[in-house]
């Protein structure tokens, strides 16, 4: 979502009275909710955490998938006699999604609310909507004493990476208004424990991640096939929270992949982008020359119960292995109208896509095009442009493009360094239809049958 659209979707904060029976939601401080907390309204003493006479202490442990825990939210201030809070827990890999559930128990001084877009949300069950636990009719007590909410939480049943806990709390003076109250916030990242219990995996092969054919090359994306990489039905994709120091993780969903090969004599862990039961998508390192590559899949990586597949040997390492990524169930190249988010595809292939017109510039996406200048290490995000070092030849519908119609050929900025982007202008003479496209580099050519739709 564009930043402007995101801000508009969040909207203007609505007033919330912590001393009221039902507080507004989306005020726990999560960035994907707009980042606001209760001090938006309860701001008599400044921003959250300004008054150090009070405090918020939250006890929450690392999660064991499917094993319930109780989160204690403890609030105190010497002048407070009523207390309120809001908590939400998000997946670090996608903070727009809640992680786990808060049981809706009417007998407790809190409630579970679902983000249906309204001010106060709706009652549970949330059925995939973002979840919040909040107080019910802010409890009263003796001025100056602390108050603790013990909130039951059911973590996700599967390991989904790190989670982030957001809490905002109000130490209220009990006058029934938002004035005179203090606000405190808490953020903590928790990890999975006891989550890696996979059985010994079976490695079958590794193929070019774009063509699903044998040849691969240095820094190319690959798809590794086998069994036992995840539990049945479980998938794990990289999210923003998994990327540390501008690099993709080498452990994802309890899985690692290790290789050695020409110029890579020490076992090297691959950056991983996706894992499911029978497939891992990862990026190869920079090899030197050609020769056999040894590969091992490791599950429960780094744990006492770590298990390894048999070592596989791959003999398809080449200097170049160019290939286009293809939209599922088609021969249509993954492509965008350059500089936009408009997908180039027939609506039957991608519902939001459209054919390209002659004269327009498209971005084609692939892998296996070799070294770039500047060079970007495997697994890192390309911070800017990095051009393919070797010359390429682009053919569209049988016509070889001039160098002036190849506007850029290199790494896709902001993406993993195994993803390449080639910006080309569609010749004015190109006819309507699904037009074949090929790119040749170092004597190797992209897969046959790959096309883009053209419509005047």
Residue 16: pLDDT over 60: no
For the beta sheet containing 279-283, the strands, ordered from the edge strand earlier in sequence to the opposite edge, are: 202-208, 221-227, 279-283, 272-276, 236-237
Residue pair 198/228 in contact (Cβ under 8 Å)? The answer is: yes
For 150-164, what is the mean pLDDT?
A: 89
Task: Quick: pLDDT tens for 253-311.
Answer: 899 999 999 999 999 999 999 999 999 999 999 999 899 999 999 999 988 899 999 99
Cα dihedral 304→310→316→322 (10° resolution): -40
* Separation CA 270–CA 272 (nearest Å): 6
Residue pair 48/166 in contact (Cβ under 8 Å)? The answer is: no
Task: Quick: pLDDT tens for 93-113.
Answer: 889 999 999 986 555 678 889
Is residue 2 exposed (0-12), middle (13-18) or buried (19+ Cβ within 10 Å)? exposed
The answer, yes or no, to whether the previous bond of 254 is cis (omega within 30 of 0) is no
Residue pair 349/327 in contact (Cβ under 8 Å)? The answer is: yes
In this prediction, residue 139 has a pLDDT band, given cuts at 50, 70 and 90, of: confident
Q: Which helix (H) or strand (E) holds 313?
A: strand 312-314
The CB-side HSE value for 308 (13 A sphere, CA atoms) comes to 9
Per DSSP bridges, beta strands 202-208 and 221-227 are antiparallel
Three-state DSSP class for 240?
Answer: helix
* Separation CA 27–CA 167 (nearest Å): 9
Residue pair 229/201 in contact (Cβ under 8 Å)? The answer is: yes
In the chain, the domains with their CATH numbers are 3-190 (2.60.40.10), 202-318 (2.60.40.10), 323-454 (no CATH)
């Amino acid at each position: 979502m564009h930043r402007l659209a995101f801000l508009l979707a969040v909207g203007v904060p609505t007033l919330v009275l912590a001393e009221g029976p039902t507080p507004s939601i989306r005020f726990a401080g999560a960035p994907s909710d707009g980042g606001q907390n209760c001090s938006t309204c309860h701001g008599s003493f400044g921003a959250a955490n300004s008054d150090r006479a009070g405090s918020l202490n939250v006890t929450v442990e690392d999660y064991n998938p499917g094993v319930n825990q109780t989160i204690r939210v403890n609030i105190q201030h010497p002048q407070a006699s009523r207390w309120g809070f809001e908590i939400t827990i998000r997946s670090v890999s996608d903070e727009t999604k809640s992680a786990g559930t808060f049981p809706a128990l009417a007998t407790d001084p809190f409630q579970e609310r679902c983000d249906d877009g309204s001010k106060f949300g709706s009652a549970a069950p949330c059925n995939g909507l973002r979840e919040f636990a909040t107080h019910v009719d802010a409890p009263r007590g003796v001025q100056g004493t602390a108050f603790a909410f013990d909130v039951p939480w059911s973590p996700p049943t599967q390991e989904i990476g790190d989670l982030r806990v957001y809490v905002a709390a109000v130490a209220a003076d009990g006058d029934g208004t938002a004035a005179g109250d203090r606000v405190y916030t808490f953020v903590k990242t928790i990890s999975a424990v006891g989550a890696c219990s996979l059985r010994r995996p079976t490695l079958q092969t590794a193929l070019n991640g774009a063509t699903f054919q044998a040849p691969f090359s240095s820094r190319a994306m690959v798809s590794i096939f086998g069994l036992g990489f995840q539990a049945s039905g479980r998938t794990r994709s990289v999210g923003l929270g998994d990327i540390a120091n501008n690099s993709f993780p080498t452990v994802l969903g309890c899985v690692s992949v290790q290789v050695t090969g020409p110029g890579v004599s020490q076992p090297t862990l691959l950056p991983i982008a996706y894992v499911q039961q029978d497939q891992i998508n990862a990026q190869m390192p920079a090899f030197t020359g050609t020769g056999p590559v040894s590969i091992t899949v490791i599950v429960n990586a780094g744990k006492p119960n770590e298990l390894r597949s048999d070592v596989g040997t791959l003999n398809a390492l080449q200097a170049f292995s160019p290939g286009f990524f293809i939209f599922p169930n088609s021969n249509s190249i993954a492509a965008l109208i350059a500089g936009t988010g408009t997908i180039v595809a027939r609506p039957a292939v991608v519902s939001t896509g459209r054919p390209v017109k002659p004269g327009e510039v498209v971005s084609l996406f692939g892998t296996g095009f070799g070294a770039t200048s500047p060079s970007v290490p495997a697994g890192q995000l390309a911070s800017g442009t990095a051009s393919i070092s070797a010359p390429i030849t682009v053919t569209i519908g049988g016509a070889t493009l001039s160098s002036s119609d190849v506007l850029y050929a290199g790494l896709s900025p902001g993406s993993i360094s195994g993803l390449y982007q080639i910006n080309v202008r569609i010749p004015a003479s190109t006819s309507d239809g699904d037009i074949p496209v090929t790119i040749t580099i170092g004597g190797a050519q992209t897969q046959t049958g790959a096309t883009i739709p053209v419509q005047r």
